[in-house]
Amino acid sequence: MIRIEFETGAVLELDREHLVGADLRGLSLPRALLGKLNLSRANLREVDLRSASLE
């Protein structure tokens, strides 16, 4: 299970072992804390990353 945490305290849980190569098309991830996640080769087309943290 992958947990994506947000600055707001919200959490999005995805039923996946990892995000490498994941198809994340169209997800809404504004203010998500993505710095510790490996998004290598992930499909991020049309993903809302407004103010998301990649550090």
Taking only the tens place, the pLDDT of each residue in 1-46 is: 999 999 999 999 999 999 999 999 999 999 999 999 999 999 999 9
Pair of tokens at residue 15: 């039923």
Q: Which residue has the tokens 């072992």?
A: 17
- CB under 8 Å to 2, separation ≥6 — which residues? 13, 14, 16, 17, 18, 19, 37
pLDDT given for residue 50 in this prediction: 97
